[in-house]
Amino acid sequence: MKTVNVGLVGVGTVGRGVFEVLRRNCEEISRRTGREIIVSAASARNVRKAEEFLGSTVKVYEDPFDVVRDKNVDIVIELIGGTTTARALIEESISLSKPVVTANKALIAEHGNELFARARANGSIVAYEAAVAGGIPIIKALREGLAANRIDSVAGIVNGTTNFILSEMRDKGISFQDALADAQQLGYAEADPTFDIEGIDAGQKLAIIAAVTFGISIQPKRVYCEGITNLTEADIRAAEDFGYRVKLLAITKRKAGGLEMRVHPTLVHHKCVIASVDGPMNAVLVEGDAVGPTLYYGAGAGAEPTASAVIADLIDVVRLQGSDVAAHVPHLAFQEERLSDVPILDMGEVESSFYLRLRVRDEPGVLSDIAGILAEYKVSIEAMRQRESDANGEGVDIVIFTHKTKENSINHALKKISGLDAIYYTPARLRIEVF
């Protein structure tokens, strides 16, 4: 049986998970591939610590480029993250005709187009299943399993940190800051959580998903991103009272005028299966014309869930060794020369239903003023309810649910409503999605 030697660049949490799963499931994996796959080289900042973990059969380098240049290494697994050194490593691997497996979503989102073109020109592969949704095989599902379908939409929870925070706010009735502190204490959130809580992480993943779904280039700068930092306990509670839950959703849809790509907090009815996805879990809902709705659920991060996706890519790469590049599944699912330049819709043109919460003075005429402004901008009200006063008795909350309207219309209406003397604070606004 031929042995395939793997170079592991990065022996952190995920790198250790990859090594452990390969070691534990080596017999099962060899039965699938007809090859024995071993880690023969690795790189780590702390060489001694890595050697203690990996054992004497693995050559450990301090310089990650030494792994790429090791003549015994057949395939490179990049797990160091970032977009500078990691990019250079992958480019050198491609130049040496060594396939690469990566879990680096930021790199794929920002530089995937160039890396894929370079790999194809060199007859190589850059596999990236683990870059999106951890252990959920959503890239393979979109590229291969659903290849017969014209996919109309993909929507999902693709960031476990924010989903955990929102679950904590709902279940414990605590503030965003307290829920974030819990997430940091449990290791779900970084010391600097900006990347997660501002929706940037989910936006990068959505750019990749949209490219694979609709056959476009990866365009992270065209994704509208809105995080969860402004969410309050009052909005979480109000949503629950009306039968909704708040989720940070990554959404891409095919529309008559182009494609939507957006990440934002969203009200989802509690009866929708995606509303019940709690804690750090991920879920992605795909709507295809032939298959209908399909749901993919699982751990979106963690050592072994991510290792599961990395090794699945590794198995695919091993199977493809020696094959003609024309037989490979294209990196972005569609033939590169047939990628589309379909426009991405500006967020102002996107239509949604909306939840609005306004703190107002409890006096005659306020509701008619608000309703008049909404009507002026052609925003139709579906339901309206007055909620209890604050403990200090300062004003009342008015909760409004609208019918579908364009983002621009609601923005103009809220700007005018905010100028009313009877309004205490900037109105809260959340979009509603129906699946």
* Structure token digits, residue 424: 């205490």
Question: Could you give the CA distance from residue 292 to residue 143 in angstroms, rounded to a whole number?
Answer: 16
Residue 429 has a CB neighbour count (10 Å cut-off) of 20
Question: Could you give the CA distance from residue 244 to residue 74 in angstroms, rounded to a whole number?
Answer: 51
Which residue, 374, 351, 366, is CA-closest to 398?
366
For 375-392, b/e burial (b = at least 16 CB within 10 A) is eebebeeeeeeeeeeeee
CB-neighbour burial class of residue 161 (10 A; exposed 0-12, middle 13-18, buried 19+): buried
Cα distances (Å, whole numbers) of residue 91 to 49, 61, 96, 114, 129: 28, 19, 9, 10, 18
Tell me the catalytic residues: 205
DSSP letter for each residue of 164-190: HHHHHHHHH---HHHHHHHHHHTTSS-
Question: Could you give the CA distance from residue 267 to residue 285 in angstroms, rounded to a whole number?
Answer: 15
DSSP letter for each residue of 335-395: -GGG-B-PPBPPGGG-EEEEEEEEEE-S-TTHHHHHHHHHHHTT--EEEEEEEEEPTT---
Confirm if 344 and 221 have CB atoms less than 8 A apart: no
Residue 324 has a CB neighbour count (10 Å cut-off) of 8
Angle in degrees, CA 44, 50, 53, rounded to 5:
150
Phi, psi of 135 (to 5 degrees): -80, -5
- The tally of CA atoms less than 13 A away on the side-chain side of residue 285 is 19
